[in-house]
Every structure is written in structure tokens, then in C-alpha cells.
Structure 1
């Protein structure tokens, strides 16, 4: 197996992170220890958005299966996909599914020859628009206004486009400081995907994981960097995983004729209102999010993070452990454990029923 320099670096540099995740698992979690016959080590890596959830999942799974160690290194979605594809990990977490052309190019070294992929949404989180404007506790904005703020077309907080939607707010004559992720980010990808779908005339960059340098604004590393920059700035606005919004003010987003605040339930609702992507195999359950849905109670700016594995593994031990781990993660208990640890939105029973056959197919 040929391993890229990136993977070699991640395998060496990720040891400490893997050890920490393993330690978290050994410290226990929800559920009672069972008579499980499972044993061995299960290794995955990928989306940092899943980091807190993976710690909770690994801890609970370790409690139920004392002879199993689950290691998950939150190296980022792209790195997780690469290490999985090159066979360095049994599974990956990713803030997007593999593109069809990536699957066709292959190969996937952990999988048996001619095996398809198992991909499904496992972690759903609303992305909050957070802001810090003195004297303003809440805002309502539609998609075109959000797009113009982050592209630099709207530059002042008392701009008519903002004022017209917030008649009760006292908006200052103050420059807007829009904060974006400086690193390649699945959060950025999902946020810009919303802008591209809901405000195509005002956001022409498409869905991108790296912020366009031409738009300016203030860059910050990671979710924590964005939250810190918005918190400590003046007239700031940014986007971040809603679980990290803390005490910051947040924006209600216009959906149809109403403005909707983020909630786990509203985030899960937009996933259920969307369709599975076409052209994929039976157990490749990528979602085409309907960011323009006008259904009641949906919040369209969400991050949907996937778990990715093989239908058939080269190593039977990987198949057994991955199937059991995925089975727990999508269970009601697994989703509740993630919600408590990371503030994510549990998947619906309807989505779980669609996912279960894919997990059952792992061998």
C-alpha cells in the first residue's frame, strides 16, 4: 500500500490525539458493561466537527465492550477521507460524502475488491450566525442580506437591508466586521452551500471550504477562533457550530415568510425535508440538502457530517467492529449521547430506518 506524505504525517502526529480519545473511552460512558464478545482496536479519523461526539461515542462503546478500543483522530474531513481511502483507518468522519468521481477513481484499500461504500449522515448540527453589536440582542436576516454581509457588499450595521428586517432594533452607524474561517473547513463549506443555494444572485462563489481572499473580512482559525474573534471584536458577525455559540447573540434566518431560530429539532427537520442524492449505490446515503425549503420549522444552515466505511472489508475484524460501532452511533442512545456531549441534533426515526440497512450490509 502506497501511503502519501500527508497520511504519514497524520499517522505520526495523530498518536497523541488517538491516545487521548482512547483514554476517554476507557474512562467509561453511558450504559452498563455487557457480555460482549467483541475485542480489538477500531481506528478512524476525520471531521473535527464530530470530535466531542466521537469522544462520547467511544466512551460508551468501550463501556459496553470492555475489550474494544476506539481511536478517533479529529484531523479534519479531507484528511480523514484520504487516510480511509488509503487503508490507514477502518472508517472516516467527513463533513461531506465522497464525490462520485472520487469514488470512481478509487481505490479504497481497506475495502475488499469491488466493494461499495457505506456513507450516511450521523451527526447533524445547526450552524449559528453569531454577532456582537452593542445594544442589539437579536436579528432577523434573509439569505440575500447574509450573502451581501459576508461578501462585503453590505458594510454597515444600519444598512437599509438590515434595518428593514429589524424595525425594533436600534442599529448603530458602525462598520460590520465579518469573521470567517481561515482554515479549510466543512463548516465553511456548509455555510457557503446555503448562500449559494438560497441567494445565488448575491453569492456566486458556490459551495467552497476555503474562504475567497477577494472578500476580505477577518479570518480566524477553527471554530474556537471565530467565536473568540466575534466575542472580543466590535460590530462583529461570524458563523460557527451552534453548540459553541455560548452567550453570543444569534440570527434568526428567513425561511418562507417566517424567521426561524436554530434548534436541534429545526436542523434535523431540514435533513428530513431533503432527498438522497441520485446516482449512488444502495448503501451510499448522501443527502442533497434542500437549503431553500419553505417548510415550517426548518433551519437551513446546518452541517451534516457523515460516517464512511466499506460494504465489504479486507479485514473481517474491521468489518465486525465497524458494524457494531456504527450500529450504536445511529441508535437512539448513541444520538442522545452525542446531543448531550456536543449539542447536536439527533437523527429522526425516519432517517434511522433508511440508514440501518446500510449498516447491516457491512461484512
Structure 2
């Protein structure tokens, strides 16, 4: 299991929406592709990019694809939201030009070394490009929000609290008309980075009530399982008394949980998610273009939402085909640009990455090119 202990070194990963910076402008000039903020009118790029991975990125990827196509009409970007596990597997196998993952690659199952090997003489690129809270969603008629302590959430998903009028729920929701109704937990059936982020939170803040190993596979049998983010949201919407977890951008009209943090309850928001990521630290011992972060899950600061996913894009600095390399570089350059991050914020509820993080990861994108 990874060491999920919160670290003290602060890394400014997320901030408020940024204006166009000199860094992105310089990058446009050096790349000559207009990926960051050019008008794209003179773009002569053409071809197709294939991406696979995290379903949490789906709404953001759709926004990025549409905006990027306006800049570069000759380019088609396909992204199949098959899940983080599929994204990592296909990237390692060479089945995608780039992939999305809601968890950084590790050596536990050989994925990190597999990605390094796939990139050959080049470097493995792993950049945080999509930051979002994970919402605990539920379907109870007439109830829009509930306060739940971390231990209560863990016991619900561990199937130890099984009814909505349980005293542990009622104590923190004295004004709610809680029904005498069975709780139906809904979890991902596929390997998922969203699952890994959610259970990482539970294992960190409620270890006595969540004694399971952290991984992307759901560890508790007997609940309702669904494929992908859309499947979980659909199952929660289609039932009564259901509860699940999903990227907050997909919560829709479902009820959502305000999570106990210290002496307060905190509802999800991009700003609250940004607050916890800002207190996180980079993982040690990674490659020069690998920007993986450990998240401070057990914060007690008011106004901080601790169930957050940092979703990564995976690529190589070297591709056999020069055109593919140019397309990957230009697309990723747009994704992390202020314009790209604003698209994700407006269309998918993401928290934009900070200028300081953009400056850190920009050299990795600039390094993408063709094999000599």
C-alpha cells in the first residue's frame, strides 16, 4: 500500500482562474503551433489522436476537444472514457497516443516501469491536468444534502450502517426527515482511479472503519456495481436509498454529502478542493517529467474538501511518428493553458491548475517530439 500520510511541504497545485501568462505566450512562440492561445486560423496541423482513460475526465475532454478543433480544424482528438485502469493498460501496451488516469502510476503492478519501457529512448510524461472534487452522491426524495462524518461514510460503504435513519446519520442531521429505508451502496465495477481516490480517503481518515487496502478495485462485495462514472451516476439516479461516489461534475440533481472536516462539515466545490491540493507534496524519486502528487487527505482545516482526485495525462517525450508527436505536444499544451483550464472549469467544474504548476510541467510538454 502506498504511504498516504499527509506531507507538510506545500505545493501550489491549484489556484483561481489565471489570465494568459508570459509563460504560455512564450511557449506558443517556441512551438509555433498556437496550442496555448493562438487563434488557430492559420493552423496546418492535421491527423487523429487516440486517447483512452479516466471517465472522470470525460466532460473536460469533450470541452478540450471542441475548443482544440476550433483552433486546429484538421485535427481529430478521440478520447474513450473506459476508466483509469484501461487507460494505463493501453498506454503501457502502446494502444493509445496519450491516456488519462485518476491515480499516478506505481511499481506495485509494474505499470510505472511498463510506461517507462513503452517510451523507449524518451522520457515518460505524467502531468496533473484535471483537478476535481469527488462527490458522495445519494438519492433520497426531498433531501438535497446530508452531513456525514468520515467514519459514517466508511461504515455505510462497508455495509455496516444499512438504514438511512441510523442514529449515526440522524445525529448530524437533526432537521432531516430521514426515511426508514435500506441503504444501497453503489460502487464502480471496473478498476477506477476515482475508486482509488475515494478509498484512499476512507483508509486515511477512518482506518478502523475501513480496513481495506487502497487500490482501484472496489474491495467490498455485495453492493450494487456499475461500469464507469456514468454507470454509477445512473444507478444512483435509478434507485431510491442509493448512495455512490463520482466526479463532482457528474453529480447533477442528486443529493450530495457535506463531509466532516475537523469541527465543521464541508460541501464540495472547486475552491474547497483547491485548498487541500495546495497542501500536498510531490512524490519522491520520479522522473524529470513525472509530476505525481500525494494528497493531504486528513486535514482538519475548515473550508477544505478532502475527497479530491488529481487526474493525470500520460504521454512520452518521444514518438516514432513526427506528426503524432506534434499533435500530442500541441494538444497537451492547450489542455494546461489558461484557456484550456478555463474550459474545464466552465464545462466540467474543475479547479484550474496554478500558474506555478503550469510552469513546472511546461518543460515536459515542450520536450515531446519525434525519435531521431
Q: Report the TM-score when normalising by structure 2.
A: 0.81
Counterpart of 1:150 in structure 2 is 157
Closer, same or farther in 2 for the Cα pair 1:256/1:238, shift >3 Å?
same
Gap change, CA 1:331 and 1:256, over 3 Å in 2: same
1:105 Cα offset (Å): 4.8
Task: Indicate the residue corresponding to 2:21 in structure 1.
Answer: none
- Cα distance, 1:133–1:64 mapped onto 2, change above 3 Å: closer
State the partner residue of 1:127. Answer: 134
Distance 1:82 1:217 in 2: 26
| CA distance in 2: counterparts of 1:132 and 1:55, whole angstroms | 27
1:102 corresponds to 2:103 = no
2:319 corresponds to which of 313, 316, 323: 313
Match among 238, 255, 265 for residue 259 of structure 1: 265
- Counterpart residue number, 2:305: 299
Q: Give the one of 240, 248, 251 matched to 1:242.
A: 248
- How far apart are residue 252 of structure 1 and its match? 0.2
Q: Distance in 2 between matches of 1:245 and 1:148?
A: 22
Matches within 5 A, 1:172-187: 172-187=179-194
Larger relative contact order, structure 1 or 2 (CA cutoff 8 Å, min sep 6): 2
CA distance in 2, matches of 1:37, 1:232: 46
CA deviation vs aligned residue, 1:281-305 (integer Å, no higher than 9, x gap): 1210011111112334321112221
Question: Are 1:335 and 2:319 an aligned pair?
Answer: no
Q: Give me the whole-angstrom Cα distance separating, in 2, the residues matched to 1:158 and 1:345.
A: 34
Q: Does 1:160 align with 2:171?
A: no
Determine whether 1:118 maps to 2:125: yes
Distance 1:251 1:120 in 2: 29
Stretches of structure 1 that go unaligned for 5 or more consecutive residues are 1-29
Would the aligned equivalents of 1:31 and 1:63 in 2 still touch at CA under 8 Å?
no
Distance 1:218 1:78 in 2: 20
Which is richer in helix? 1
- Assess if the C-alpha contact under 8 Å between 2:84 and 2:191 holds in 1: no
Structure 2 residue corresponding to 1:69, chosen from 72, 76, 82 = 76
Task: Choose 30-39 or 197-206, whichever is displaced more.
Answer: 30-39
Q: Which residue of 1 aligns with 2:357?
A: 351
RMSD: 2.2
Structure 1 residue 127: Cα displacement:
1.4
In the TM superposition, what is the alpha-carbon distance from 1:213 to its structure 2 partner?
A: 4.5
Paired residues, what number? 331
Residues of 2 paired with 1:56 and 1:178: CA distance?
31
Q: Distance in 1 between matches of 2:45 and 2:296?
A: 39
Cα gap change, 1:105 to 1:86, in 2 (>3 Å):
closer
Q: Secondary structure of the residue that 1:83 maps to in structure 2?
A: helix
Runs of 5+ unmatched residues, structure 2? 1-36
CA offsets per residue over residues 282-338 of structure 1, 9 Å max, x none? 210011111112334321112221101113333333332222111110011101112
Contact 1:125–1:304 under 8 Å retained in 2 = yes
**Deviation of residue 163 (structure 1)?**
2.0
Structure 2 equivalent of residue 279 of structure 1: 285
Taking the aligned partners of 1:320 and 1:87, their CA distance within structure 2 comes to 17
The reply on whether 1:324 has 2:330 as its aligned counterpart is yes
Q: Distance in 1 between matches of 2:45 and 2:272?
A: 37
> How far apart are residue 144 of structure 1 and its match?
0.9
Q: 1:332 to 1:181 in 2, by over 3 A?
A: same
Task: For residue 290 of structure 1, give the secondary structure of its aligned residue in structure 2.
Answer: coil
